């Protein structure tokens, strides 16, 4: 990774296979800061370069996906898809969670899992994904990772059916589609993160950052926009799940938004998606990639008090703990 100033971009684009999302990290080094990208498509178009690398910056590419690991996950997902009996489904999910745990702790990369999930589960159109990426690459990366988390969290919480997991994936990505708007700024997605961490703080965060009125409106309306997107695109096998987008920031005391309705007890599947959406911080570029399990196990969130996310979280920890102790005892 070079950091020297250069007027040409070192980007071996032709080495990238033709995929929706590249199997590596594209880095833009600018002023000593590394930006990490996952870009849909294989090209780096001139507009993209102009936008993100105006001066003294350098692109570099590093492959991080282990093809073998990615393909193994895809095979496991496909096997899951065609199973019918509850016991077989449960065993297959256990196998997938165990493989996730094992590959991660043996230095394989989360991106292998994220890409396998994307290739097997994603129903969101390429155009829509490109729009998301063009809106903000950090938001796009966050969506891809959150959606992958929704799959593994779902499995550790006894959601064994392929179609339900697929819905979790697309719903989690769609939560962020509501944030993509022509007047979007990075702060808007950050406000959503703040709101997830501590309900009621998102708008105050935007005001503190001197966001424009338009940005505040995008933030306040993103649950409705996400909901409308899901309504007009038949992505979900369980269409009732689209309500999660609408109610993602409503609270039990009625102090949430956009409608300010008192949101009562939420179901486990709703908690899975909200938990997954809360896990990835748009600001963190590397932290959980290196220590994802530790990150998951140390997760703390104010929203746990308001939603039964705590139950979902505990169950996931139990699943990982179980795998961890099996590994230690060699069973």
Which residues of this protein are in contact with Fe ion, per CB under 5 A? 192
Residue 211: helix, strand or coil by DSSP?
Answer: coil
DSSP 63: E
Q: How far apart are CA 250 and CA 310, in angstroms?
A: 17
Q: How far apart are CA 264 and CA 309, in angstroms?
A: 13
Whether residue 40 contacts residue 20, with contact meaning beta carbons closer than 8 Å, is answered with yes
> Could you tell me the smallest distance in angstroms from the CB atom of residue 169 to Fe ion?
17
> Could you tell me the smallest distance in angstroms from the CB atom of residue 225 to Fe ion?
10
Q: Closer to Fe ion at the Cβ: 97 or 241? A: 241
Residue 232: helix, strand or coil by DSSP?
Answer: helix
Q: Closer to Fe ion at the Cβ: 151 or 180? A: 180
> Could you tell me the smallest distance in angstroms from the CB atom of residue 269 to Fe ion?
18
DSSP 294: H
31 C-beta neighbours (distance < 10 Å), count: 9
Q: Closer to Fe ion at the Cβ: 34 or 221? A: 221
Q: How far apart are CA 52 and CA 273, in angstroms?
A: 31
Cα→Cα distances 18→23, 40, 118, 293, Å? 10, 10, 14, 31
Q: Closer to Fe ion at the Cβ: 192 or 244? A: 192
> Could you tell me the smallest distance in angstroms from the CB atom of residue 189 to Fe ion?
8
Q: Closer to Fe ion at the Cβ: 114 or 192? A: 192
R_g over Cα of the chain: 20
Q: Closer to Fe ion at the Cβ: 97 or 192? A: 192
Tell me the residue number closest to Fe ion, measured at CB: 192
Q: Closer to Fe ion at the Cβ: 24 or 202? A: 202
Helix, strand, coil in percent for the chain, rounding step 5: 60, 5, 35
Q: Closer to Fe ion at the Cβ: 22 or 192? A: 192
> Could you tell me the smallest distance in angstroms from the CB atom of residue 294 to Fe ion?
25
Q: How far apart are CA 268 and CA 244, in angstroms?
A: 12
Q: Closer to Fe ion at the Cβ: 132 or 192? A: 192
Q: How far apart are CA 181 and CA 301, in angstroms?
A: 27
> Which residue stretches of 37-136 are H helix?
46-52, 67-81, 86-105, 110-121, 126-135
**Residues 6 or more apart whose Cβ sits within 8 Å of residue 293:** 101, 104, 105, 320
């Amino acid at each position: 990774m070079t950091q020297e100033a250069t007027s040409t971009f070192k980007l071996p684009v032709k080495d990238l296979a033709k995929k929706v999302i590249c199997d590596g990290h594209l880095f833009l080094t600018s002023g000593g800061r590394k930006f990490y990208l996952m870009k849909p498509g294989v090209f780096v178009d001139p507009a993209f370069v102009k936008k993100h690398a105006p001066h003294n910056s350098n692109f570099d590419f590093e492959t991080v996906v282990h093809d073998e690991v990615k393909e193994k996950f895809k095979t496991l997902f496909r096997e899951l898809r065609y199973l019918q009996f509850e016991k077989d489904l449960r065993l297959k999910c256990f196998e997938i969670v165990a493989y996730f745990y094992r590959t991660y702790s043996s230095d394989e990369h989360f991106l292998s899992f994220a890409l396998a999930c994307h290739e097997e589960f994603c129903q969101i159109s390429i155009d829509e994904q490109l729009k998301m990426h063009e809106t903000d690459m950090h938001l796009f990366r966050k969506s891809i990772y959150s959606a992958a988390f929704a799959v593994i969290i779902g499995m550790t919480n006894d959601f064994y059916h392929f179609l339900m997991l697929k819905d979790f994936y697309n719903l989690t990505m769609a939560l962020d589609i509501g944030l993509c708007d022509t007047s979007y700024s990075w702060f808007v997605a950050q406000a959503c993160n703040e709101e997830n961490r501590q309900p009621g703080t998102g708008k105050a965060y935007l005001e503190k950052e001197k966001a424009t009125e338009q940005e505040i409106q995008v933030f306040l309306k993103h649950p409705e926009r996400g909901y409308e997107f899901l309504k007009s695109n038949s992505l979900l096998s369980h269409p009732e799940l689209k309500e999660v987008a609408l109610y993602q920031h409503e609270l039990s005391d009625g102090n949430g938004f956009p409608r300010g309705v008192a949101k009562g007890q939420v179901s486990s599947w709703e908690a899975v998606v909200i938990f997954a959406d809360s896990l990835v911080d748009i600001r963190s570029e590397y932290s959980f990639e290196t220590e994802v399990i530790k990150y998951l196990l140390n997760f703390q969130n104010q929203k746990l008090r308001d939603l039964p996310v705590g139950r979902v979280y505990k169950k996931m920890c139990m699943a990982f703990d179980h795998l961890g102790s099996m590994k230690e005892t060699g069973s």
